[in-house]
Amino acid sequence: MKFLTLSLLLVVTSCASRPKPQVTVRPMPAPAVESAESVRYMEIIRAYHIGRYVDPNHPEVMHEQHPLFRVEAHFRWNLKPGDPCAPGAVLLNPPRDAAFSPPPASDALAAEMNRQKEATERVMREASQLVRSYEELQKVIKDMTVVAKNHAWMGGRILSAERRVGELEAELRKLNAPPAPATNEVRSSTLEAPDAPKP
């Protein structure tokens, strides 16, 4: 029993010797609450005036003129903080195009832009010169094609003329050649009498 009291005494004294930390709980200040329009877009409803019409699904039913209410846009969250298009925002100027950003103004950028413009103009001039050269080349190729056709035609004419000249020369030789003696005919000048004295 002594042991139990001694251990209990030790536990009590050990707990009493340690100071307990002071924990103070203070409420946090409430964050600023934005208006509902800046957090969530309101529903957009538009009214349309409809005149008399026959129901397309039921041809035996006619509707009298009446207003028609249509939900154009449902409630949705505003994911763009500070959105100028929010229903509560006042638009003094139209909203800027999100894709447009003004070019930064610096001397180095202006010099680079001028250099790029000059390079573009030079490329455009060279391209137009290339187009003109290409057109001239096409004209020369067309002319050379005509010359080649004419050359082939002249070559054919020359060959046919040479062949015709050869045929005419052959006919002329036949006309100028002495007639060949007949095989049974003997010339009188070549025949001499065998006992005639020789001079």
Q: Tens of pLDDT along 14-50?
A: 555 566 666 666 666 666 655 666 777 788 888 888 8
What is the secondary structure of the chain as a DSSP string? -HHHHHHHHHHHHHHHHSPPPP----PPPPPPPPPHHHHEEPPEEEEEEE--EE-SS-TT-EEPPEEEEEEEE--EE--STT-TTSTT---SSPPPPTT--PPP--HHHHHHHHHHHHHHHHHHHHHHHHHHHHHHHHHHHHHHHHHHHHHHHHHHHHHHHHHHHHHHHHHHHHHHSPPPPPSS---TTT---TTSPP-
* Per-residue pLDDT, 49: 85
Per residue in 70-103, pLDDT tens?
888 888 887 776 655 555 554 445 556 666 666 6
Q: What is the mean pLDDT of residues 52-69?
A: 90
More confident: 42 or 189: 42
User: What's the pLDDT score for residue 107?
Assistant: 83
Bridge-based pairing state of the strands 44-50 and 66-73: antiparallel
- 50 beta partners: 66
User: How confident is the model at residue 152, as a pLDDT?
Assistant: 93
Interval 4-17: pLDDT, tens: 666 666 666 655 55
pLDDT of 187 over the 70 cut = no
Query: Per-residue pLDDT averaged across 142-165, rounded?
Result: 94
Q: What band does 156 get if pLDDT is binned at 50, 70 and 90? A: very high
Give dist(CA 39, CA 33) in Å, integer. 10
Phi, psi of 42 (to 5 degrees): -80, 165
pTM: 0.30
- So what's the pLDDT on residue 123? 96
- Flag whether pLDDT at 167 surpasses 90: yes
CA distance 199 to 188: 19
Q: Which residue has the higher pLDDT, 94 or 133?
A: 133
